[in-house]
Amino acid sequence: MKLPIAKGAKRALLVEGGGMKGAFAGGVLHGMNGLLNATNFDLVVGVSSGACSAAYYVTMPKPEPVKSEKALSVWYSELSGRQLISVFHPFQGKTFLDQEYLIDYIFRNKVRLESENLEKEGLPEFRIAVSNLHSHTVDYVRATATNVFDLLKAATSLPIATRGKHKLDGTIYSDAAILNPLPLQDLIEAGYKSITIVMNSPIARISEPLGFITGLLAFPWNWKLSKMMREWHHHHFNDARRIALEPPKGVQIHTIAPDDSLPVGLVTTVRNKLRETVELGVKKGEEASQFLLNLFAVNRKKLKGTTKPVKTLTSKKSLTLKKAVKKKTKPKKSGVSKKK
């Protein structure tokens, strides 16, 4: 499933994943909720844990400070300690990352995601990126009231930490990040001229190729997919950052990212570190909201096609990134779409 084609001046929001680093994105979207809620975008795309944070954001048709704060607290109250991730889970018949706890208990019940709002008029279309394990490509499945919980399970089916796959409507999916952790180029090719990206690491970060052992452990039953993951994950990660720094002519890209490495990593569950990460995100989200609100108001007065690239919303070490990207060797041709 491809992204919907943008007709006219459409705005998209792309939310990156990254395991527990998604707490930063959760903070950003909470910070945005007060001034710049989801109705300001035409399309929202979530990847991996970024889809979890985006799901709460897109189901609030108006600023909801109390609901948004409750959703935000999930990161440090419900996902800390051994509740979500634990080396003891396999001894209890669970995976290291307990998706049933996350989706069936938290999202469906304790801090209920108001999934019925996904189909309300005025709210943006919400697409969740997932890796299609049949076609070995990234699909963008539209989230609805009936499929969103299964879709979130597919999006968070991180290899090694979970079973690495989830079946939805006859198709087996996995975390989109194994092939494309930040599908910025796909949004551009779909015609979006104004794209806001929430990144969970500094924009100047460079990703190295995943190791052979990591690929083997991730997909021991599928050598082709294992190889693709090792070739494409870092390529798309780095390429998206290059594009964010140097947008194509006529495309505005607004990047919201931490200035430095976050206090948390992929599997950090220390409560105070998660809370610190959330607070960093909230601050960035509040700053970005005012900037984007003013920019969107100005753009509404302009004729279509006159937009120009603007500065990113975070400090960046662009020289380091540009040099590193130039030295990269592109991987061989595969089933994943590449930048034209």
Catalytic residues: 48, 175
What CA–CA distance (Å, rounded) separates 230 from 227?
5
Q: Are 6 and 192 in contact (CB under 8 A)?
A: yes
Report which residue type is found at 16. E
CB atoms within 10 A of CB 65: 11
Q: Are 148 and 118 in contact (CB under 8 A)?
A: yes
Task: Measure CA 16 to chain center.
Answer: 3
Backbone angles phi, psi at 133, to 5 degrees: -80, -5
- Which string of b and e fits 124-140 if b means at least 16 CB within 10 Å? bbbbbbbbbbeebbbbb
CB atoms within 10 A of CB 337: 16
What CA–CA distance (Å, rounded) separates 4 from 127?
9
